[in-house]
Structure 1
Amino acid sequence: MTIKVLLVEDSPVASTIFKRMINSADDMSVVGTARTGIEALELMPKVKPDVICTDLMMPKMNGLELTRAIMSSTPKPILVISACVQDEDKNNVFQLLDAGAVDVFPKPRSGNIEDYEMITQKLLTRIRVLSGVKVFTKRSQNISPILTNNGIPVKINRDNTNNTVSSTFVKGIKVLAIASSTGGPQAFQEVLSQFPANFPVPVLCVQHISTGFLDGFINWLKQYCHLSVVVAQTGDSPRKGYIYFPPERQHLQLDAQGRFYCVEGVAVDGHCPSATVLFQNVARFYGSASIGVLMTGMGRDGALGLLTLKQKGAYTIAQDEATSIVFGMPQEAIRLGASKIVLPLPEIAPKIMEIIT
């Protein structure tokens, strides 16, 4: 079956190039192009797309407004293709995920055809994955940003060095490790936003995300989390009250003293950073005093690492199929017997709190 793609892009040059790229695949076809969100909405009932690829910045109706309109009426898998990763608009890309878009993909900032050709196969793969997303999992609760008195979304940054940990927390668990891929930003938002400011252990994370989007992703998460969300730095020790992500294109590892060791390395399970690398490092240093969670994502990264954690006595959790945007990674972990328990997304954070209290 041919995957029908609606392309929403206000640049004639970019639209022509993307159309050629998509039509080069035997299993997909661009069934319509639009320069604004308004044009896209008018085309929707006529072309009946399987996947919508949209830019963020467009006249009359931008990508965010378009996504909200589509998801409130005729939900479809939406891939955001944007070059907004270096300026103030980069945070807006993740607002589209709030609105229901599934994934983000970088558009070359240059207009060079060579730069577009380099990303062709990655783009086609993303579209194929999204075409298989049939059900959009809605959050069981409305997650709102943390606001200042004047209503501006902010992250409440705290110096957690002297945080007093509630006596309801026990000391058996020393670290929480979580990983995800496609659909992960939304999953991370739901899970991490439920942890209180006195959460007693560091949270080490891996999210497969295109180069250039990490800062925007972290800034977006800061609006929802009571903990500090930061990029891990080599030589630092994990601290309670902090959520850590590796630098772009670097594995998140731990040295013999348990300090971060972030370095570019060979891709493991097809990725750098790799969930398996993180889980195996956590298993080696923390063993049974850890919790490992593998959430939605394409492929198998993290499955072997979660198995290592379980073999070391850690408590391991895999997200279930019904709430996973893409069930690949958790499914592989379940197949290997790597998960102690399989949970729907809304139950993951409460289970973690139950384990450590």
Structure 2
Amino acid sequence: MRIGIVNDVMLATAALRRVVAATPGHETAWTAATGAEAVQRAAADPVDLILMDLIMPQMDGVEATRRIMKQSPCAILVVTSTVTGHLDMVYEAMSLGALDAIQTPVLGLSGNIDGAAALQDKLAIIAKLIGRNGRAPRVNGAAAVTALTEEAPLVAIGASTGGPQAVSEILQALPADLPASVVIVQHVDEHFATGLAEWLSRRCARRVLPARQGDRLGAGKIFIAAGPDHLVIESNGRLGYTPEPKESSYKPSVDAFFMSAARRRGMRGCAILLTGMGRDGADGLLTLRKAGFHTIAQDQKTSVVWGMPKAAAEIGAAVDVLPLPAIGARALRAIKELHP
């Protein structure tokens, strides 16, 4: 990939250049010290990926992300050392089109770069998403169905690029006494997932919990994937994490969670696939539709990136393809039809 680096700290830029140079198949195309300069360079010399800092003079990374996604859209990864006290900026940038966020690698006294491996892992994931036309490996949906369940209905939500804001709007449309559990799988680094749960809690005035191993689903509960592996519903009906499928382009995988829900025989509810790059969740949504779930995909007009929901629409996975403002109400109606 050709990569643009946006950071006003010379040492940080140097560290990022070294990480890119040490990663086969990637090169630094240009660097920028301000958001305004990044907007200009992105338009003049389009790249595959931009590593975007947040706090910069003249124009911050949030505004730069907004302008780039509007004028010269490309993959953007927020890379910042200013996480504490600025989490809202991280999720705002992700709502505007940034794929994910990671802490800036640090050049150590010994010459080693702390955090280099984590960034290289992110580069590999993004290269898969954009280098294979967004076609992630398919997840096997043929596993055995678990026992019949009388659990509360489930609202399963999958999202990626632009997802935080979209998820927030849907949660705001669902009442506090919703007779269903809600589980969100958002493509986000595990280190930012707990902060995202807090951010969503403030936005929807309801408690969004980071999902932990062994958590029990229940009406009115809202969970978000927050581990290093894939969030799934295990055979005992509780939430858990698994490294499988290892070949999945993203952790957590929307497909992995959707498939696990489909294996809970008798479980019903509504599954929603929102804005995002690639096709994660499309196959899982189709499997859930076949299992009796009402399935919804976000439409092109209201998606920041119409990749994942488009893939779902193309294979007939979505009963409804709707604009974002209509999805929450439709999901609520689907749940009420199960619990009149």
What TM-score results when the alignment is normalised by the length of structure 1? 0.71
| Equivalent residues of 2:261, 2:267 under 8 A apart | no
Residue number in structure 1 paired with 2:92: 95
Residue number in structure 1 paired with 2:100: 104
Residue number in structure 1 paired with 2:79: 81
Residue-by-residue CA offset, 1:290-327 (whole Å, 9 max, x unaligned) = 11112222333222222221111111112223333333
Q: Percent same amino acid among aligned pairs?
A: 34
Please identify, of 100-109 and 314-323, the stretch whose mean Cα deviation from structure 2 is larger: 100-109
1:280 aligns with 2:259: yes
Partner amino acid, structure 2, of 1:346: P
Distance 1:130 1:9, change over 3 A: farther
Residue-by-residue CA offset, 1:33-85 (whole Å, 9 max, x unaligned) = 333446557x56994656754311335654346557x4799685554222344
Deviation at 1:9, TM superposition (A): 0.6
Distance 1:203 1:119, change over 3 A: same
| Equivalent residues of 2:16, 2:105 under 8 A apart | no
Residue-by-residue CA offset, 1:126-152 (whole Å, 9 max, x unaligned) = 489789xxxxxxxxxxxxxxxxxxxxx
Q: Which has the higher contact order (CA 8 A, sep 6+)?
A: 2
Q: CA separation in 1, counterparts of 2:311 and 2:42?
A: 37
Alignment coverage as a number of residue pairs: 313
Q: CA separation in 2, counterparts of 1:234 and 1:191?
A: 25
| Equivalent residues of 1:252, 1:263 under 8 A apart | yes
Residue number in structure 2 paired with 1:151: none
Q: CA separation in 2, counterparts of 1:46 and 1:211?
A: 32
Please identify, of 269-278 and 237-246, the stretch whose mean Cα deviation from structure 2 is larger: 269-278
Cα RMSD over matched residues?
A: 3.8
Distance 1:216 1:15, change over 3 A: same
| Equivalent residues of 2:43, 2:71 under 8 A apart | no
Residue number in structure 2 paired with 1:11: 9
- Secondary structure of the structure 2 residue equivalent to 1:213: helix
Deviation at 1:221, TM superposition (A): 1.0
Which of the numbers 214, 234, 247 marks the counterpart of 2:226? 247
Residue number in structure 1 paired with 2:116: 116
1:8-87 alignment runs, 5 A limit: 8-19=6-17, 30-31=29-30, 33-37=31-35, 43=40, 47=44, 53-59=51-57, 61-64=59-62, 66=64, 70=67, 79-85=77-83, 87=84
Partner amino acid, structure 1, of 2:326: E
Residue number in structure 1 paired with 2:289: 310
- Secondary structure of the structure 1 residue equivalent to 2:270: strand
1:292 aligns with 2:288: no
- Secondary structure of the structure 2 residue equivalent to 1:238: coil
Partner amino acid, structure 1, of 2:197: I
Distance 1:72 1:267, change over 3 A: closer
Which of the numbers 178, 183, 205 marks the counterpart of 1:199? 178
1:181-192 alignment runs, 5 A limit: 181-192=160-171
- Secondary structure of the structure 2 residue equivalent to 1:197: coil
Partner amino acid, structure 2, of 1:16: A
What TM-score results when the alignment is normalised by the length of structure 2? 0.74
Distance 1:38 1:334, change over 3 A: closer
Deviation at 1:124, TM superposition (A): 7.5
Residue number in structure 1 paired with 2:197: 218
Distance 1:255 1:81, change over 3 A: closer
Partner amino acid, structure 2, of 1:30: A
Distance 1:20 1:260, change over 3 A: closer
Residue-by-residue CA offset, 1:332-353 (whole Å, 9 max, x unaligned) = 3233322222222222112112
Deviation at 1:220, TM superposition (A): 1.3
Partner amino acid, structure 2, of 1:82: T
Q: CA separation in 2, counterparts of 1:322 and 1:268?
A: 31
